[in-house]
Each structure stands twice: as structure tokens, then as C-alpha cells.
Amino acid sequence: MNPPSLLLVLHDVAPNTWADYQRFVDQVDALGQVPITWLVVPDFHKQHSLEAHPGFRRMLSGRVERGDELVLHGYYHCDDSPAARTPHDWFMRRIYTHEGEFYGLSEAAALARLREGMELFHRYRWPLHGFVAPAWLMSEGTREALRHLPLRYTSDSQHLYRLPDFAPIDAPGLVWSARSPWRRGLSKWLSDQREQRWRQAPVIRLGLHPVDMRHEYSRAYWLKTLTRLLEQGRVPMTKIQWLAQQSALIERVA
């Protein structure tokens, strides 16, 4: 059996969120060899295109050289689809989140946007294995589109899904809602409960967002939790490294 693993994942990575993450990334680097999975948005809210920020792109290329993984995280990370037609869709797209970019897309629209993102990764010579939809929301059209692309996985908050068949793999994750003090307090309590419940889990994901980095309370939590899990013997990996390990285990058993 392999030792338990730890996946550190930064969501919503874009030129305008790098200032939020930079201090934390420096602190992680100071811990030693801790690979990071970066969920990269090509044109965040249609205002922060990677094309217009060569310095930021060079930073990402440097992270790839260090052994980090870059993942396609939507394209615009904002919901620009036509208005919702049902109360449920309105709730998901206007109350639950405004950023469910792939929640309402047809297969053709999703395929076009995914291919555009893949082309950007190819242009900058960034290896690409995975796609994560903003807010983990995907239409059936998006799921069908992913079946036709040479990507190896997608994920939601508690699973990785091997493509193209969407075979689920348990991968429990801690994530915060940090926009207000009461949300941060509740997130801390829930995360502590879940970490105890998952002490024997083969893998734990830490899913960070830019807003977490804007508050000392949540930023300190993530650094302390990362350090504690490493001290407990969890091996830090990228998502694709861990998925490859699981695939090798399945092959050995078969």
C-alpha cells in the first residue's frame, strides 16, 4: 500500500488573483518540495486575459518546471449563458453562484470553449491533463464534450473522475467559504470535523480560493493544516501524479 497522499489545489488562478496567492505560495515553497496544482482561468471574467500578461505566464511556466501541474479551470469563470428558464436553474446560477460558466452550455458550446482553452495551453507548452469546471458545475452537454477530448480527468469537491467514462475515485476535499467572519468560523469548524473523519483516507485535497488568502484567519488555517498533514506523513502530489498512482494500483490488482 502507498502512504496517504495530500493534494494542494489553488482555484481561480489568474493575473488578478496572483497577488492574493503570492505570499502563501512563498510560504509553501519554504516548506520544501510540495507540488501545487494550479486551476488556471485563461481570461478571468473577460477582463484578465493570460495573453496580456507575459510575466504571469512566465511565472506559471516556471511552476511547471518545478513539477507543479496546471489545470484548465473554465475559460472565463463567469456565467454568460442565456437567462435561466427554471427556478432550480435560477437558484444555481444566481444564488448558489454567478460563476457556473459550464452549467448551462450545450455540447457544441462547451466543446468550442474547452478546445480554445486547450489550444492556449498548447501554445504556451503547458502539459494539460485535467479540466475543472468553475464551482464544479457541469451541464450534460459539457460532460458529453469531455468524452470527446484527450483529457484524463475532471473533478468535483469530493471526487476525481477518470475520463472519458467518468469513473469516480473518492478524493475528499476541504474547502472554505471565507467571505465573512461567520462563514470563516463555520468553515473552520466543518473542516476540523472532516479532517478528523478522514484521518485514514488515502488522500485529502486542500482546495484554496483567492478570498481565503485575503484574511489572516483563513490563510493561517491553510498553512497550519498543510504543515500538520505533511508532518503526519502524507505525501504531497499533484492531481495527475495521484491519478497515475491510482491507475497503477488498479493495473497491479487486475
The pLDDT score that the predictor gives to residue 249 is 72
Rounded Cα gap, residues 202 and 218, in angstroms: 25
What integer pLDDT is reported at residue 104 of this predicted model? 85
Angstrom distance (rounded) from CA 103 to CA 116: 18
The predicted pLDDT at position 85 comes to: 64
Grid coordinates 460532460 are at which residue? 143
Give mean pLDDT in consecutive 10-residue pieces for the chain, a chain of 254 residues: 93 97 98 97 91 97 98 85 58 54 91 97 98 92 97 95 95 94 95 96 97 97 98 97 86 58
Q: How far apart are CA 12 and CA 62, in angstroms?
A: 18
pLDDT at 98: 59
pLDDT at 90: 45
Q: Residue 243: its pLDDT value, please?
A: 96
Give, in words, the CATH class of 5-253.
Answer: alpha beta
What pLDDT sits at residue 204? 98
Q: How far apart are CA 164 and CA 233, in angstroms?
A: 33
Strands (E), the chain: 5-13, 37-40, 43-44, 48-49, 69-72, 130-131, 153-155, 159-162, 167-170, 173-175, 203-208, 235-237
Report the pLDDT value the prediction gives residue 82, as an integer from 0 to 100.
58
DSSP character at residue 82: S
Question: What pLDDT score was predicted for residue 250?
Answer: 64
Cis peptide before 164 (omega within 30 of 0): yes
**pTM (2 d.p.):** 0.93
